A and B are shown apart, each in its own frame.
Chain A
Amino acid sequence: MIQQYDVVVIGGGIAGLTTALTVAQNNCRVAVVSKVHVTRSHSVAAQGGIAAALGNEENDHPEWHSYDTMKGSDYLADQDAVETLTKQAPNAIYLLEHLGVPFSRNKEGKIEQRRFGGHTKNYGEAPIKRACYVSDRTGRAIMDTLYDQCIRSGVTFQNEVYIQQLLFTLNYCCGAAGYDIATMQPRVFHAKNVVLATGGCGKIYKTTSNGFASTGDGFALALDAVLPLEDMEFVQFHPTGIYGLGILISEAARAEGGVLRNGLGERFMESYAPILKDLAARDVVSRAILQEVAEGRGVNGKDYVFLDLRELGKERLAQKLPEITSFVKTYLGIDPSEAQIPVAPTCHYIMGGIPTDVNGHVLADTLGAVLPGLFAVGECACVSVHGANRLGCNSLIDLVVFGKRAGLSIISESKTQSLPPLPLQTESTVTDKINNLLESKGAERVPPLRERLQYLMTDQCSVFRNHRGLENAMRQIQLLKKNYLNLGLTNKFKIFNYELQEALEFGNMLRVAEVIVYSALQRHESRGAHFRSDYPERNDKEWLKHTFVNETPTGLQVCYKPVVIGKFAPQKRSY
């Protein structure tokens, strides 16, 4: 089935819905295509808040927000993009509020704000209340509001459709093709503009806060289109995942007064970050936790520490952190007002992604050539505002600010565009690929291969990395890729064939993992979330630059792009 739209958005999280809503309210015909029901997108799992210098609780400035974001990024973010983000952040919050997002309120009836990791007043002096929030279900509340508004504005939702490829005519992106998960029928979307909003790839790690759908599909779509991926070595490990499960305990828990304690009961963050302590940037806190563990101060000699929320008391927990309280009760049988929570770093977010400019245009090279008709927004995009380490609450604001900007640039450009023709035989390309997989009779199965990849990435390419481990990971990934060619599917049915979908996703995961390891292997320094124990220092002289990696017939290829530096020159980073 071939359908025509002005805009097709692939992925229905907050970024995708923001772009869709923006274009729909300007009378564009837009479809959001998602492999899950849109309301299941992983943005719903965002808990703690969304950052903007509203100054509702105390004096604040976008410039302070910029400083914190740059410092958080370990100076790898592009400062012009960061300024765009922080300057437009307040208006983005007001827009959300007017759309109906039910923000928590302070006594004056304004949007309430709380502290969050790495956000400070007066250039690092002390923590500041900058995170707007809806108790600890901020993502869910924003998603629900945007979903309702999209319905009202006539956005079409194509739920449970798996996109396999982008379509190009000459050098113009003119659509996307895939299949209906419920029937396996090919689906072709023919559009003037295509927006990638496919989120992250946390599922390539064993322990992650990400949902099952975070398999990096958008990254693979970009690689297929011979596009580079930027800064993929920078993978964020959130310090406080529930031990073993990886389920996120928001930084809001520490913002509201929770503290981390090692096996000796010590508040160890005081010695790693004397000013911000438990509210230091995430890369710093994650390393500190694993350092404590490595030095034998984990709880009971194990690889976790405690998050202590007992000080908060039952009432405050119920009011400010109800979801977290209930997760902990459900999965650990613990009442956080009485017992400490075992936590360890969990793969959370990828700072890198598909390179874009501040208007969402996908960039085809380090010189900034724009690929017409193709946009990327949200976690799958790299603008870059997060650099080597993202601050908490800066993700949600990125989704809304740049989601909207992409929508606005689509509107202004599409007036003069005509719909390019579709390439020939798109439906049969999709069907052929599916049938090849369905008929595969090899001995390998996805679940054990996937588990091998997840353990490999967790062991060799997480918080601490080194040359030997990364080299080993590269070799193992090559082996896994060989195994993948010998895949055999046992499920030959067409209706809801998840074995087929997971095979496609795993193919994507392997490619993304390879780019991550390769990028990490090349970068001979430590910066933000990329810590090389064989190169423990940041090296601005040689490495203040963005990694761009392309897939080529002879393997991966790397090149670099200078960082845009502005008024905040790189400084030594301490919290």
Chain B
Amino acid sequence: MHITLKIYRFNPEKDKEPYYDTFTIEAGPDERILDCLNRVRWLKDSTLAFRMSCAHGICGSDGLTINGQTCLACQKLVKDYDYNNGITIEPLKYFEVIKDLIVDLEPFFKRINSITPPTTSLANAEPQKERIQTPQERNAFDDALKCILCACCYGACPVITEQDSEFIGPAAILRAQRYIFDSRTANPQMQLAVLKKPHGVWGCKSYYMCTVVCPKNIKVTAAILRTKKKIISEQQSNQQ
């Protein structure tokens, strides 16, 4: 069947302003939106730019805005949309557009990279045994491990897109939360310190949009709230 894609276009080598381009392609209802984008690029317009890699929702390359909703293009099928009325594809919000659907992810990775794992002096170490961790302790941070760094939560977060562009953002807090709640982290002060800074975890206003759009169904807001609670209870115990 024929479907029509309305795609956000901007080529800095020729365009002054972004615009929308419309393509009609052949696609089946069970095909991925990513398949449709490839069809456009391979058959209609070789200049169309977008990122992709694994094509099944584990590498996190193709976070986009489809019909206004932030998601992964490889996880959405044609039939997920009212395709008779066309499907609109735009880049992730918040980030600066470099070309077409490609955004500058530098601000995202800078935040992720600010969360470092606990110290391990492993230069030449040869650990002879694992550290013990009970299944309960391990499960305390299981949800955060699902994160694929697709940055969809940044594109959907009302705080970072509209109120505080410096906000550290959901995925980075989740990354910190993963180490803070890992029983093997002897002292999570380093991870907590990043979150306590201005534009840190307190920037979150619990709009729950990260949770709504997360392609891996992570309860992101709940994880952020848990982190806030942890900081408060630490402060209280320090005061006593």
Contact = CB atoms under 8 A, between A and B. Distances in A.
B148 interface: yes
A103 B113 CA distance: 22
Interface stretch (B57-65, B84-92, B199-207): B57-65
Contact of B58 (A45, A91, A107, A108): A45
Contacts of A330: 57, 75, 77
- Greatest chain B CB density within 10 A among A144, A145, A489 is at A144
A323 to B, nearest CB: 7
A149 B105 contact: no
B58 A137 contact: yes
Nearest to A493: B13
Contacts of B58: 44-45, 137, 140, 323
A463 B26 CA distance: 31
Interface string B63-104: 000000000000101000000000000000000001110100
A interface bracket (residues with beta carbon within 8 Å of B): 35 or more
Contact of A97 (B41, B52, B130, B217): B130
Nearest to B109: A37
A39 B130 contact: no
B150 to A, nearest CB: 10
B149 A494 contact: no
A106 B130 CA distance: 12
A327 B215 CA distance: 11
Interface residues of B, number: 66
A323 B57 CA distance: 9
Interface string A150-171: 0110000000000000000000
A102 B138 contact: yes
Contacts of B237: none
A107 B77 CA distance: 40
B1 interface: no
B77 to A, nearest CB: 8
A405 to B, nearest CB: 13
B11 interface: yes
A34 to B, nearest CB: 11
A15 interface: no
Contacts of A44: 54, 58-59, 148
Interface stretch (B121-129, B158-166, B223-231): B121-129
A105 B60 contact: no
A220 interface: no
Contact of A99 (B11, B120, B175): B120
B127 A40 contact: no
Nearest to B47: A491
B131 interface: yes
Contacts of B60: 39-40
Contact of A247 (B41, B56, B137, B141): B56
Interface string A89-110: 0010111011110111111111
A443 B151 CA distance: 39
A141 interface: yes
Contacts of B134: 105, 109
B57 A491 contact: no
Interface string B133-152: 11101100110011111000
Given A110-B130, A323-B58, A495-B13, A104 B138 contact: yes
Nearest to A157: B109
A498 B137 CA distance: 45
Contacts of B212: none
B49 A496 contact: yes
Nearest to B185: A100
B81 to A, nearest CB: 14
Nearest to B48: A498
A192 B120 CA distance: 27
A490 interface: yes
Interface string B12-33: 1110000000000000001010
Contacts of B141: 102
B189 interface: no
Interface in A276-334: 322-323, 326-327, 330-331
B145 A141 contact: yes
A145 B46 contact: no
A211 interface: yes
A455 interface: no
A495 B12 CA distance: 8
B61 A149 contact: no
Contacts of B56: 45, 245, 247, 327, 331
A148 B11 CA distance: 33
B113 to A, nearest CB: 5
Contact of A493 (B11, B52, B142): B11
B136 to A, nearest CB: 9
Given A44-B59, A102-B182, A491-B46, A148 B116 contact: yes
B131 A97 contact: yes
B179 interface: yes
- Greatest chain A CB density within 10 A among B30, B59, B99, B149 is at B59
Given A40-B60, A140-B58, A247-B56, 13 more contacts: A36-B53, A44-B54, A98-B130, A102-B178, A109-B137, A145-B117, A211-B53, A212-B53, A331-B30, A491-B46, A495-B49, A498-B41, A498-B49
18 contacts: A37-B109, A91-B126, A95-B125, A98-B125, A102-B141, A111-B130, A148-B116, A149-B120, A211-B59, A212-B54, A212-B55, A245-B56, A327-B57, A490-B47, A491-B47, A493-B11, A496-B100, A497-B47
Interface of A: 25-26, 36-37, 39-42, 44-45, 54, 91, 93-95, 97-100, 102-111, 134-135, 137, 140-141, 144-145, 148-149, 151-152, 182, 211-213, 245, 247, 322-323, 326-327, 330-331, 446-447, 489-491, 493-499
